[in-house]
Amino acid sequence: MATHELYLGGPPTRNYGLSMFPARPFNEATAPFNQIGPAAHKGPIGYKDTRRLDFSGDDHALAEFLRENVVAAADVLGAVLIPKDCIVLGFHYRIIKAKAGVTLTPKYRGKAHTFAAIDGGVEGGNGFIPASGAAVAAVTEGVVSLALAVFDNKPDMFDLTLTAVPAGGIGGFAIDITPVFLHVADGGIP
C-alpha cells in the first residue's frame, strides 16, 4: 500500500525532475499546511474544491505520474487539500470515464469518518455523500442535514483509497470529486 499525493495547491515542493506529482506529503501538524486558506478566486464563505482525477491520458501530469509509478489496489490517492477552520458538509462525486473493476473508498486522512464506496464502473454515476462520522450511502436527491457536517480546526486531506483495481490498472478511469465546505474564518464585516 502506498500513498500518492495528487492534490493541487498547497505548499511548494522541490521536484527536481520538474514533474507535477507527487505533491508534498500532507502533514496537518506542519506550518505550511496550517497557513493555507481557501483559493483566493473562490466565494467569500462557501467553497467547492473540485478535483478531476483523469487517468485516461488527457491529464498530462497524471499520465507522466502513471508512467513513473505503479498505482495498485489498497493505494491511497491524496485528492483534495482542505484548509483548517472549515465545516465540511460532504462531497459530491461524478464518474467522468467509467472503468469496470475500479472501486474507491473516500476518507478524511487520520479521521474515523467512514463513507460508502464509489463504484467506478458506472458511467455518469454521481451522488452527494454527507460528511458524517458513520457510514452513509450516497444521497442523490432529498435533504442533507447540517447535523452531518464535520468541523476541523486543522487542515485535512480528502483521500480516495483504491479498494479494487482491475488487472489492467487504473488507466482510462476519470472522476470528479468535490468537497463542499464553509470556511468559518471568512466573510462578515472586517
**Full-model pTM:** 0.75
> Based on the structure, what is the number of domains in the chain?
1
Q: Is residue 162 part of a domain?
A: yes
Q: Is residue 77 part of a domain?
A: yes
Q: Is residue 170 part of a domain?
A: yes
**What is the spatial distance between Cα 173 and Cα 77, in angstroms, rounded to a whole number?**
14
| pLDDT over 80 at 44, yes or no | no
| pLDDT over 60 at 136, yes or no | no
Q: Is residue 31 part of a domain?
A: no
Q: Is residue 35 part of a domain?
A: no
* Of 21, 96, 4, nearest in space to 56 by CA: 96
Mean pLDDT score of the chain, rounded to an integer? 80
Amino acid at 186: D
Residue 160 is predicted with a pLDDT of 94
